[in-house]
Amino acid sequence: MGLFDWIFGQFIDVIEWTDNSQDTMVYRFNRQGNEIKYGAKLTVRESQIAVFVNEGEIADVLSPGIYELETNNIPILTNLQHWDHGFNSPFKAEVYFLNTKRFTDLKWGTKNPIMVRDPEFSMVRLRAFGTYEIRIGDAKKFLNEIVGTDGHFTTDEIEAQLTNLITSKFATVMGADDTPVLDLAANYEKLGAYITEHIAPSFEEYGLDLTKMLVENISLPEEVEKAIDTRSSREITGNLDDNIKYQSGQALGNSEGSASDMVGMGAGMAMGQQMANTMNANNHATPPPLPNQIAQYFVAIDGKSEGPFSLEKVEKDLLTGRITNDTLIWTQGMDAWAKASSILSSTFAQTPPPLN
């Protein structure tokens, strides 16, 4: 390196930052002992903010644009060293570039199940996970509270803390919500907006904006999911008999079961089939006869059919002599008329003979 190269290297004419990474939030301009001279150009691109730090204090925050470092353009910099000498000599200051774009697809999830009350299951344990988006909202606060003197700050350095913050607040938010667990899947979008609204204030303490929170899945414990699956299978198959057939088919199709499992399954199938048969038999039992189905008798008197009469009426006519042994009688189920003595033999045995 020649003498003139070394001399010109002591002065920085252009201050800018371009970045092709997806996770850099803050970058400190690397001056390596170089000094910024009066009239240097500062380029702040869209989705960037430049922060001047002098002697450990923030001197100014610059929005997107091109700046020439002169007192007319940046009056607040008059507090910087040597500015009171007309800035003819170079000065040393740190320039931090903050990336104000949205940082997306950051992961969050519950490490342990969260116990919540549910209107249908009384209380359940839930697991949840999803993604969220953030961006820098307050440059000074973020630089002071989180970044400090870090010259290259990425999302990895704060993601774990933000995830812990989300999961702790998520339990509180879900505890205050009364949506049934089985209806949560249909309300993921609304739930995400609701959670964002209630957790965002906690992010503002770090100088960050929580722009969006997405809920990808909320799951129940394995044993509860199995119970729900069994209930769903029952409802799909319909009645008990069909359900037994369904369970049998499922078991027979599982070739990994042991012999003892198959024996136990067979006993269970037999008991289930017996229960089904008993229920079906009860459902198809013959009901008692209706009142109008009591036996009725037709009597042939003087060559004419009279009736129908109840058995009680016929017995009274036997006592009065209106009906005799040879009187023809017919009732439902008979092929032809027959004498009363053959049809009502038991009644005749209890009837005293006529008085002659």
The C-alpha atoms of residue 297 and residue 289 are separated, in whole angstroms, by 17
- Backbone φ and ψ of 316, nearest 5°: -65, -40
Q: Give 131's contacts (C-beta < 8 A, 6+ positions apart).
A: 104, 105, 106, 107, 108, 213, 214, 216
Residue-wise pLDDT for 218-245, tens only, equals 888 787 778 777 776 666 655 556 666 6
Cα–Cα distance measured from residue 170 to residue 127, given in angstroms and rounded to the nearest whole number = 11
Give, to the nearest 10 degrees, the angle between helix 240-252 and helix 259-283. Answer: 170
Task: Using a pLDDT cut of 70, give the percent of the chain over it.
Answer: 67
Q: Cα Rg for the chain, rounded, in angstroms? A: 48
Read off the pLDDT band of 174 (50, 70, 90). confident
pLDDT in tens, 107-166: 999 888 888 887 777 788 888 899 999 999 999 999 999 998 888 999 999 999 999 888
Peptide bond preceding 354: is omega within 30 degrees of 0, i.e. cis? no
Higher-confidence position of 116 and 204: 204
Which of 210-224, 269-283, 316-330, 332-346 is the least confident region? 269-283
| Residue 31: strand, helix, or coil | coil
> What average pLDDT does this structure show over 19-46?
81
Q: Which backbone phi and psi does 13 adopt, to 5 degrees?
A: -95, -30
CA 251 – CA 26 distance, rounded (Å): 60
Confidence of residue 81 (pLDDT cuts 50, 70, 90): very low
Q: Report pLDDT for 147.
A: 92
Q: Where are the beta strands (DSSP E) in the chain?
A: 11-15, 24-28, 35-44, 48-54, 57-62, 65-68, 94-99, 103-109, 114-118, 122-136, 152-154, 208-219, 297-301, 304-309, 328-331, 338-339
Question: CB under 8 Å to 306, separation ≥6 — which residues?
Answer: 298, 299, 300
What's the mean per-residue pLDDT of the chain?
76
The pTM assigned to this predicted structure is 0.56
**Res. 307 pLDDT band, cuts 50 70 90:** confident
3-state secondary structure 150-219: CCEEECHHHHHHHHHHHHHHHHHHHHHCCCCHHHCHHHHHHHHHHHHHHHHHHHHCCCEEEEEEEEEEEE
**pLDDT in the model for residue 85:** 41
Tokens at 136, concatenated? 């820098």
CA 194 to chain centre: 14
- List pLDDT tens digits, range 92-104: 678 899 999 999 9
Residue type, 234: R
What is the pLDDT, as a whole number, of residue 43? 92
